Amino acid sequence: MDSNSKLFFSFFAVSLSLLSLSSAVSPPSNLVCAYTPYPSFCRSVLPDTNSSANVYDYGRLSVRKSLSSARKFLSLIDKYLRKSSSLTPTAVAALQDCRFLAALNMDFLLTSFQTVNSSANTMPVYKADDIQTLLSAILTNTQTCLDGLQATASSWSLKNGIYTPLANDTKLYSVSLALFTKGWVTKKKKRTGTGTVTSHENRLNFPNGKLPFKMSNRHQAIFESVGKRKLLQAGGQILVDDVVVVCQDGSKNFTTIGDAVAAAPVNANGSNGYFLIYVMEGVYEEYVAIAKNKKYLMMIGDGINQTIITGNRSFVDGSTTFNSSTFSVVGQGFVAVDITFRNTAGAIKHQAVAVRNGADFSTFYSCSFEAYQDTLYVHSLRQFYRECDIYGTVDFIFGNAAAMFQNCNIYPRLPLMGQFNAVTAQGRTDPNQNTGISIHNCTIKAADDLASGNFTVQTYLGRPWKLYSRTIYMQSFMDSLINPLGWHEWDGDFALNTSYYAEFNNRGPGSDTSGRVSWSGYHIITDAKDAANFTVTNFVVGDDWLPQVGVPYAGGLV
């Protein structure tokens, strides 16, 4: 237990003692609100209306109030957007991001409320993890909106009209997450199995150009053209509902990826399988967005550096960081295989995202992500990356998802003169969020331009973007480019004691921990049981969804 946890529990124990002395019948909200990061605020929004109320009753009430607040905020954003002619383009862009995120929050809160309102005081572990994930993402979405507003505040005069109510909403969402975590989230049974899950490791070269998909006869010709690709099988068949092919010469179904995505069904539940988009070799200069209603979509290319999706939006050129991505996805269950995603804006344009991922149960296998600052935005929810290549400079893997990287190659590049490289900038803002970046059995080496550079560039494993930043490196190879300190400050002593940074059984010349930072938030893990908390099985509940995807993965340590 770290010093902040000890302080919290000490405070809670003292609070209970004082309450028991002050009154024979303690107000229940005082007791319940002590579990939250904002006890006073909690008491102000959860009045003592029922002397028999408990953490479950107040948890349900808090989620209901959160849903009401989210609805009001969405209306407020629409009000300001109707006056967009009086705002700067960057302010309008930030407001549009906020509206997009607020709509997601409405969906997540409605699902959360329906679940807690219909559940008893216990629920299955997987369902509790789902709701904790959604409530964590609500906070992440809200923080993203706040960050965007802060970045444009100097250019418009309406900041307080949006920023102040949103800051209060953040506290309410934090209270909801804390009460749900206290009431419904139990400590999971941690599995410490080692080695690869062999039933999910088999790749299949399909004979006779046939795919083992359940398909209609009318798609046979299309499947035969795809069948020479090396796809994956998980203990049987990967179920595919429909297939379209993208080819730039006009000989197939579509010439653009965006048109193929538009043809995907709306709000599919996955029971009939994936909508498969096969993107043939080529350089696709387009901005692709997989919307929230485009679920269980699988996109397969012809391989890294063969199928390339590219763009060049950047913060310097007027995009918000959130909306600078070449490729963005929020549709649940998305899978990408054998594709390169690029943002070619260059280091000089600062924040320029190649992929922004806010899709739950999303998977990228054998893909490449190429940019400089902010290459891969692992924004929210549960994500898995396997055998991918990630290139970048400053904070090039960043965000607040529960993001798992396994058997990936991480390539720091040559940054601008005077800059240093930070592989990660994790954005956890609340101690009850089940988020973080876990890098397992990966390789961190210099990209060619950095390896051949004529001046020294410092490269660090990460730095704390937000107060409870959490990043773990396990069983990975670190080359000599890693600075002996390992980690770098964000701004003075910000988050050095509240973050959680850890290393476990890494190897290579850059893995020597004898000279690492002395922050209380930094840890050297020595017990495999502790490291197992950040494996695929435990950290992203991968055994519940990755077998259906068909990608290879190791559930435990290797």
Q: What is the three-state SS of 158-210?
A: CHHHHHHHHHHHHHHHHHHHHHHHHHHCCCCCCCCCECCCHHHCCEECCHHHC
Contacts of 275 (CB under 8 A, 6+ apart): 240, 241, 242, 243, 244, 264, 265, 268, 296, 297, 298
User: Quick check: helix, strand or coil at residue 248?
Assistant: coil
Alpha helices in 371-427 (DSSP H): none
Contact (CB, 8 A) for 526 and 552: no
**Longest alpha-carbon distance in the chain:** 80
Tokens of residue 13, six digits? 């124990």
The CA distance from 68 to 210, in Å, is 52
B/e letters for 185-195, b = 16+ CB within 10 Å, e = fewer, are: beeeeeebeee
Query: Is 449 among the catalytic positions?
Result: no
The CA distance from 534 to 501, in Å, is 12
Contacts of 205 (CB under 8 A, 6+ apart): 230
- Note the Cα 264 to chain centre separation in Å: 24
Q: Which of 395, 430, 491, 527 is catalytic?
A: 395
- Note the Cα 355 to chain centre separation in Å: 11
Contact (CB, 8 A) for 361 and 346: no
57 membership: H or E segment, kind and range:
helix 55-81
- Note the Cα 533 to chain centre separation in Å: 17
User: Quick check: helix, strand or coil at residue 63?
Assistant: helix
Helices and strands (DSSP H and E) totals, the chain = 13, 28
B/e letters for 292-306, b = 16+ CB within 10 Å, e = fewer, are: bebbbbbbbbbbbee
The secondary structure of residue 323, as a DSSP letter, is T
Tokens of residue 250, six digits? 């006009």
**Which residues belong to the active site?**
395
